[in-house]
Each structure stands twice: as structure tokens, then as C-alpha cells.
Chains A and B, each alone.
Chain A
Amino acid sequence: MATPGAATNGKPTTTRTSELVRFATAGSVDDGKSTLIGRLLYDTKSIFEDQLEHVEETSKRRGDGYVNLALLTDGLRAEREQGITIDVAYRYFHTPRRKFIIADTPGHEQYTRNMVTGASTADLALVLVDARKGVLEQSHRHAFIASLLRIPHLVVCVNKMDLVDWDQEVFDRITADFTGWAAKLDIQDVTFIPVSALHGDNVVDRSENMPWYQGPSLLYHLEHVHVASDRNLQDARFPVQWVTRPMSDELHDYRGYAGEVASGVFRTGDEVVVLPSGRTSRIAGIDTFDGEIDEAYPPLSVTLRLEDEIDVSRGDMICRPANRPKEARDIDAMVCWMSERPLSPSGRYRIKHTSRTALARVEQLTYRIDVNSLHRDEDAEGLELNEIGKLRLRLSAPLLVDEYRRNRATGSFVLIDESTNDTVGAGMVL
């Protein structure tokens, strides 16, 4: 099937279409996450011979006693030396239907910021539960982060089923436990799959050891879960990144507004409003390098032309007059703290949101949330690295925001330390 795309100007392409799906995995050393990813890569023929040879050699030298597939994902010297994953690693594999990007993140509490990072772009989260141990505190934390970051789909792999004699009762109990916890969270879609990553049961092919399980294998689920409809196609939002003014002889009067469609659909002829100025116009054309297109939708990068000459610059947002984001000087947000230097209760930071940067002052830390128990501590006086809390921020200039739960693109922001330039906080507008 061919899809009309910007670069083909609506003409069918010769290359087969496959969809891009991003998923995040969280897990600790012992729950078999690396083995599961290794298994997915291995069984989809995504591991190359030289990579495998390298892992075999290294495993032997380290005396692991088995081919340690975790070595595939541990990219930094310090990680290999310490045998731990300390950062987000990105892995890629494809099947005829889809191309997958895995954000592989460590599962320990001291790496919550890495999990949040991996989760921020994910369509799906994969959480592992050890069948022998059941739902632990860390499973609670992973599910909470998935729900906080609004990952639309959650897959719980109950792993090591081989070590509990492929027992359906174990699986059912874990499913019930997890569902009970998930009810406290805002999770739309949860799928449970009993697997043995070590032996490959239900990873790529359906297991013969668990005839009682009627659902899909993990790979089948990853290939078929419907992600296209997760995009927000209702609220037209176009943050302007760049004003294109060629000033050449033949294009002397050309003025285009380049950006990536954050949400919604833009069509030629649509009436639009430019914020924050509030000036209205109509879309005269939607340009790409490969020619004009009739409509633009997320996540296409395009250039919009307007019928009227109005003042538009980087940081402005083009939307529809009857459906606008909130123009906010004060925002409430959930913030995950990502820096060794704690959040100071009256601190001042740069805030970057879409293509706009302003200053933000912390007015109030409303509460800090315990990521394991969901307990809210209203007496908290700061946020340390990896802690998550609700903040009220006062902004130096209005930002054009939507609630994160409705719009991940226009509801997210980062906080940047003015003196070190480090990214210190990840925020979601409430």
C-alpha cells in the first residue's frame, strides 16, 4: 500500500509503506529485560553476525557462562565495566509492517529521569514482571511513569513463565494485581502477555507451552497495535520555527512559515489565527520541497503561506480561530527533576515550550509525589534528582499551552538552568 506523503506530492511511492512505532522498555538487571530485547532483535534477524560474535567473545572473557545479550545494549565503557545500564539506549528493528525504535531505559529508581526521557516520545511502554516475584514496587513505578507521560499503550510481559511451570494461575494473579493498581492511574490500554524471554515463548511465535493463553505473541501485538489514531487530529496547532524569505529575484515576495504540525489538520483555504497577535488570515498554500500539498497533519514538516501579509515570527503559533490553546502566564504542571542540583523553591529557570523560550519562576511546590506509593507530600520543600512534583510556575511571557493529557506536543516543556545551561526539569501542563 502506498501512502501519499509530502515528498512524493501525493503520488504513490515504489517503496512499501511501513509505519514508525516507538516504544520504551523499563526494567532492572534481573527481570530479563535485556534478554527480551535481545530475543526480539535476534528473532527478527536484527542482530548482525559481527555484533553477536562480539557479544559471545566478551561474555566468554567476562566469564558470564552464557551469551549475555545485555552486552548488546550497554554501549558505554562504564556500563560494561559495571554491568549496568545507566542511560537510554536506542535500538532499531523492523518487520515488513513496521519500523520500531526501542528506547531501552534502566528500571531502578535512581534512573527515573532516564525512564521519563525514554517515555516522552513513546507510543507504547513495555513493562516486565518476573512471574516468580509478582507485581513489585518497581512495577508500580513503571506503570505510574507510563501514565504520567501519557503513553497510550501499555504491555505487561509476565516473564520467566518457564520457572513457574507455565502456570496460568500465576499469570492470572499477576494480571489481577496489576489491574488493581492500574485502576488508580490514567491508563487507557493495557495488554498482558505471558512470556519466557530466555526460551522465546510468546515473544515472536506463540508458545506451545501455554495452550491456555489465547492472545497474541509480543511481536504480533507490537506489529498490530493501532497507533495512528493516538495522534491528536482535532486541535490544529502549528508552532512556527522559521520564517522563509528567499528574497531572490523570482521569489521576491515569498514569505512562508516553516514548522512541524504539532496536532490537528491544516488545509489550504482554512481560516487561521496567529497567536499571540490574534491576527487572522487564510492558508494560501502548504509548501514542501516536493511541491504543494492540500493538507498537512502531524508529524509532517511543512511551510505554510498565508493570504494576508501579517507579522508572524518564530515562537508564534498558527491555529484555528474557534479552537485555541490557552495563553498562560501562570501554569500548573507536573515536573520530573533531572538534575543533581535540586529544584529550589523560588528558583528561576529558562522554560522551553514548542518553539518559544521564556523565563519561569517557581511560585509554589504544591506537592511531591512518591513514585512508588503515589502518596502526595504537601510539606515537601524541594525536588531532588529523579523526584516528581506538582509546581506552579510564573512566566516572564505568555506561553500557548494545552493540557498535556490532551496534547503531548503543546503540553510539554523543559526547564533549563540559566547558569549551567543544563536541562534540569521535564514538565507536563495540567
Chain B
Amino acid sequence: MTYEISHLRALESEAIHVIREVAAELERAVLLFSGGKDSAVLLHLARKAFHPGGLPFPVMHVDTGHNFPEVIEYRDRLVDEMGARLIVASVQDSIDNGRVTEESGPRASRNRLQSVTLLDAIEEHGFRAAFGGARRDEERARAKERILSFRDDFGQWDPKGQRPELWNIYNGFVKPGEHVRVFPLSNWTELDVWQYIAEEKLELPNIYFAHEREVFERDGMLYAVSDFVELLPGEEPFKKWVRFRTVGDMSCTGAVASEAKTLPDVVAEIAATRVTERGETRADDRISEAAMEDRKKEGYF
């Protein structure tokens, strides 16, 4: 008997270990759930960690108000099925009560405003730990981030002052006002996530699979036509078979041309792809070389 373990089981086990450790050591935790594939895997792992008990923490969606309707429907159904408690932190509320100012124009996005809404919600509920589905393979600044990532009382990330993280021992000590972001999927790649979804037969919002949709092209990317985006002169909507590789705010998430209608099709497509998911589909990372690092310092996911 060699007691072999596949890489997906090893990653699963590591994530469950992290989730249990944080739930045990930090009194108020919350799981950030966007309805995207990574947060779907994260929620599934959290469920596994405490089975047959329920989740010992609530689930929170930072809602930009610019959502794909399919994703909201999926979110509500999943949370209801699990009997989890859902908190919705609304960017619209932050705008209405003057905490942030809405951007205007055809390229307006609420992406960056989310950080304020998120930090306000963390403070309001007194959360000491917030689980997120970010992965280190997504982006260069994230490649350097710890699994337990400390945030000071302004919600800031200090990339040069990170706590060393050794073995599987995590330091979650925080003072009042401070918190940690926890990334149990740190060591997963996009392909790992898809293979795991296929192996576990997880349900996802249907926009992850190829469907015909009205889109327009901007800066070499395809965007869904919606009430949240103004078209620029010369941008003409057209119909195309697409799917989404990432799910975020409708105003900054691009679609990819795809015929992949089933999970095995998507896994095969991801295994053969030559472009990263954020490079292909996220306008928010195209602003500058250190766009993610800058947003993370401000308290972004």
C-alpha cells in the first residue's frame, strides 16, 4: 500500500485545513462569495470542512448592482440549499450614502468602489477574517501574497511587511480593527479549479458555458450588452457564441468566443488555452503594470 493522493485531493485537504484553522482561531469570520467559479469551489470546501455540521460563518456578497442576473439567481439558490446565512453588501448603498462617488462615462465601472463597500461591511459586522477565492496564479502581485494575509485597521495590504508563513502553521493574531484575508485556494491554478469542479460535479452559473449572446467589441475584448454599459461611437452590438472565463461586474468582465457547452469541453478548452484568464477577460487589470497591487493595497479582494 503506497497511500497515494492525487494533486486535487492534496489541494483540497490543504484548503480544508486552512478553513478549519481560521474558523477555530478567529471569532468572527465571513466567506466572500461572488457567484464565480472560485468562490463556488471555496464554498464547497467550507461545507466539506465542517460536515456533517453546518457552516460556522455567514456568506457575504459584495454586490456592485451590475450583476449578471444568472449569477444572482444561482447565488440565492445555492445559499438557500445549504441553509447558509447570506449578507449582501451593496455598492449602491455606499453610493447613496455618500461613501463613494460613482464614475461616469462609457468606461465607468464600479469595480474599484467595491473595496470601500467591502471594508465598511467588514467593520460594521466586526469580522476578523474574510475568506476569498483568489489564487496566486491569477496575477503577479497575488503570487506573493500569503494564504493568511494581514490587513491593518485601514484595510491596507503591505506587500513588503507580510508575515512569514511556514509549514502549515498560520498566524491569525489580529488586534481590534484589523483583519486577515484568507485564501485557501492560493495554490490552485485555473485548470485545477475546473478539474475539481468536473470531478465534484459542482453546479455553476450557466454563463460559464457557451451560449449565444448579444455582445460588442472594445479594446479587443467582447463585452455583454447590458443596461450598465454605454456604447461608444462605432461600437455595434452583434450576436456571438461566447462563454465567460471569470465572473465579475458586467462592466469590466469580458467574454471569450467559445463552443464549450459542457464541463469536459470547458476543461479541455482551459487545458489548451494560451492566454491567462485575467489577461483575456478583465479590463480592471489592464490599467497599469501594478493595477492589482495598487487595488490590493487599498483593500481590494
- Distance in angstroms between the alpha carbons of A58 and B9 in the assembled complex: 38
- Distance in angstroms between the alpha carbons of A19 and B3 in the assembled complex: 12
Given contacts A228-B4, A289-B47, contact A352 B164 (CB under 8 A): no
Q: Please give the distance in Å from B237's CB to the nearest CB on chain A.
A: 26
Q: Please tell me if B116 contacts chain A, counting CB pairs below 8 Å.
A: no
- Distance in angstroms between the alpha carbons of A397 and B14 in the assembled complex: 28
Q: Please give the distance in Å from B279's CB to the nearest CB on chain A.
A: 3
Given contacts A7-B9, A301-B13, contact A89 B144 (CB under 8 A): yes
Identify B140's interface contact among A75, A113, A287, A289, CB under 8 A: A75
Q: Please give the distance in Å from B182's CB to the nearest CB on chain A.
A: 14
A260–B16 contact, CB under 8 A? yes
**Which of the candidate stretches A29-37, A174-182, A239-247, A324-332 sits at the interface with the other chain?**
A239-247
Q: Please give the distance in Å from B99's CB to the nearest CB on chain A.
A: 28
The B32-56 residues at the A interface (CB cut-off 8 A) are 47-54
Identify B280's interface contact among A3, A50, A416, CB under 8 A: A50
A300–B48 contact, CB under 8 A? no
Identify B3's interface contact among A233, A314, A421, CB under 8 A: A233
Q: Please tell me if A405 contacts chain B, counting CB pairs below 8 Å.
A: no
Q: Please tell me if A213 contacts chain B, counting CB pairs below 8 Å.
A: no
Given contacts A13-B199, A260-B168, contact A51 B20 (CB under 8 A): no
- Distance in angstroms between the alpha carbons of A156 and B237 in the assembled complex: 57
Q: Which residues of A contact B24 (CB under 8 A)?
A: 241-242, 314, 355
Q: Please tell me if B141 contacts chain A, counting CB pairs below 8 Å.
A: yes
Q: Please tell me if B137 contacts chain A, counting CB pairs below 8 Å.
A: yes
B17–A18 contact, CB under 8 A? no
- A1-36 CB mask vs B (1 if < 8 Å, else 0) is 001011110000111011110000000000000000
In chain B, what residue has the closest Cβ to A118?
A: B166
A246–B52 contact, CB under 8 A? yes
B175–A5 contact, CB under 8 A? no
The B143-175 residues at the A interface (CB cut-off 8 A) are 143-144, 159-160, 162-169, 171, 173-175
The B266-301 residues at the A interface (CB cut-off 8 A) are 273-276, 279-280, 289-290, 293
In the complex, how many residue pairs between chain A and chain B have their CB atoms under 8 Å apart?
A: 210
A76–B144 contact, CB under 8 A? yes
Q: Please tell me if B79 contacts chain A, counting CB pairs below 8 Å.
A: no
B16–A301 contact, CB under 8 A? yes
In chain A, what residue has the closest Cβ to B13?
A: A301
Q: Please tell me if B2 contacts chain A, counting CB pairs below 8 Å.
A: yes
Q: Please give the distance in Å from A27's CB to the nearest CB on chain B.
A: 17
A423–B171 contact, CB under 8 A? yes
Q: Which residues of A contact B88 (CB under 8 A)?
A: none
Q: Please tell me if A422 contacts chain B, counting CB pairs below 8 Å.
A: yes
Given contacts A117-B164, A265-B3, contact A350 B21 (CB under 8 A): no
- B205-227 CB mask vs A (1 if < 8 Å, else 0) is 00000000000000000000000
Q: Please tell me if B187 contacts chain A, counting CB pairs below 8 Å.
A: yes
Q: Please tell me if B64 contacts chain A, counting CB pairs below 8 Å.
A: no
In chain A, what residue has the closest Cβ to B288?
A: A77
Q: Please give the distance in Å from A311's CB to the nearest CB on chain B.
A: 17
A409–B167 contact, CB under 8 A? yes
B20–A421 contact, CB under 8 A? no
Additional A-B contact list (5), CB under 8 Å, known A15-B8, A300-B9: A92-B137, A114-B164, A242-B23, A299-B10, A301-B20
10 interchain pairs (CB within 8 A)? A7-B12, A76-B144, A91-B143, A92-B136, A254-B52, A265-B3, A299-B14, A301-B12, A301-B20, A314-B24
B residues with a Cβ closer than 8 A to A are 2-14, 16-17, 20-21, 23-24, 47-54, 136-137, 139-144, 159-160, 162-169, 171, 173-175, 186-187, 189, 191-192, 195, 198-200, 273-276, 279-280, 289-290, 293
